[in-house]
Structure 1
Amino acid sequence: MSFEQMEKLKTKLPEWLETSRLRTGQGDVAAYIPELAKASRDTLGIHIADSQGQTVSAGDCGVPFTMQSISKVFTLILALMDHGEEAVFYNVGKEPTGDDFNSMIKLELVEPGIPFNPLINAGAITVSSLIAGDSPEEKSARILHFFRKLASNERLDYNMDVYHSELETGDLNRSLAYFLKQNGVLKDPVEDVLSVYFRHCSIEVDCSDLSRMALVLAFDGVDPHSGEMLIPRRYIQIAKTFMVTCGMYNASGEFAIDVGLPAKSGVSGGIMALVPGQYGIGVVGPSLNNKGNSIAGVHLLERLSKEFDWSLF
């Protein structure tokens, strides 16, 4: 972080965050997963980290939340590391859908019935089935270990209340999974696959953890603090491309125009974003817009991108 940017962020970030917080009243928290409905609609926090260990944060950045769909970026990477591109993309496509993240429409209409991309629910369920391991427990343990390594936080764990809430109410995801099973996309028992999927969605983080994970993506798979290569660069390229084209659900095009950064959101209100070669960013704001993205979080990222000319485009 340059001295000028650091000083401006320290001075202005709290003010910009409070301006964005005014937007929280225009959305609402996710209620279809009962445990997520307990979040405060007015929460908003952000943490920004750079390769030199400098950080800037503001607002409610210490509030814990579950990763939800943000976890899909990293399970995709792990599946690629386990099996390679050809095997993964034999089972999952590479295109945006334009539909809601939990839609079944394209599965029913398009041959050969594989999910359009790994960041919609059907695609992420398929990717969960591709994680190496002899049991759901082994697969989940590998995912958690990988996430802990990327976040440099051995305390990362599941929020079991959220996990059980998803397990008990995830009938639409079961419908998607059984459709995939019928099409031969899933080979393992549906409940085994969903157990892995719901578990990685329920891994609990804070904004600092997300910014640290994003920083590894921002530096092409290298941990900039240790110099260790954690992820092959090719798989980072794939992940960042999906984040730009599909990462903000069916508002990804709008986000690319207004913010212009690779990002991934989750219905708990989290957003992970990155400025390639510079910063990792973690945001929490549980009040969602009608596309399932943090309404205040998106507004704050747009402000930051414009103030510092961060857009890739």
Structure 2
Amino acid sequence: MPKDQRPATPAAVSVRDVAALARVSPTTVSNVLSGNRRVSEETQDRVRWAIDQLGYRPNLSARNLRLNRTGLIAVAVPEIDVPYFAELIRHVVQGAREHGYTVLVDQTEGRIEAEQFVVDGMNRGMVDGILLSPLGMTRAEYDQRRDDTPLVLLGERIVGKGIDHVGIDNVAAAEDATRHLADRGRRRIAAIGHQTPRGGGTAPQRTKGYRKALRSAGLPYDPTLVVPTRNYHRLDGAQAMADLLDSGALPDAVFCYTDLLALGALHTLHQRGLKVPDEVAVIGIDDIDEGRYSLPTLTTISPNKPTIAQTALDLLLTRITTKEQDPQQVVIPHTLEQREST
């Protein structure tokens, strides 16, 4: 469009102006903006170029009023200051912004009543959809849900079908982590982080994967090498590692159920004068940024947080516009990031 034909201000630019410059229909522009229908990458690029050229800003208030939506989605996690959740939320916020949504963040601390409040839609009509990482909720409690706000679960999985869920295969992740240690000749492989949460959850699955890898490697399962933790913080990992060493059950490798536990374990090993990985190898799960800068750097299972966030967000936005869609349970592939600690 010639410069003298451009609208004077972004507020004066309409969808029709964008469509004319991109040589597409106004409906196509709307589909690109909403993400509700598939549009070819070439067409999306052309539309976004036209939007940038014209300085177009959609009137989100008018759109939301027309569609009877709030323009808000919520993401609720057990602890906001845990690096894994903080990084995951960042990816959700970035993805939601591209679709014109603002994200509200809530912290449940794993409390049943807080998770139930989220599952029941928070304050009715406050948000268009919810992403929830549950910690203690059982299937029976989930089935008592009294709200139909679109909901997708992240990470911890409530057992049973009929629930939208996005996460990694925790059994396979733990198996890969433990096998990595066994493949490097480690024979006394400890595990830090077992729990028996009322809702099932991640910990039992990771214990299952740990034991499965031991069997595959021909190694015996030694319960004295499995140290439960109440939480998954650095302090819990440091204390668990100290308890393990004080018990006399000296391992030559440690599989920690999260990177924060692993960082705590590294701290204790350093304090006790044990060399990592020469005397004790350490591996975690989560691939948090902190692990790339620890000494030594931390080997970890990477759950691909950007893909988890984007997949969950795409599923939620589809659920918001097409509530008849069958529930999806999406498993995101993980990778092993080998660093200095192994």
Q: What interval of TM-score do these two structures reach, taking the shorter chain for normalisation?
A: under 0.3
Structure number having the greater strand percentage:
2
Tell me the TM-score normalised to structure 1 length. Answer: 0.25
Structure number having the greater helix percentage:
1
Q: Which has the higher contact order (CA 8 A, sep 6+)?
A: 1
Tell me the TM-score normalised to structure 2 length. Answer: 0.24
**Greater Rg by CA:** 2
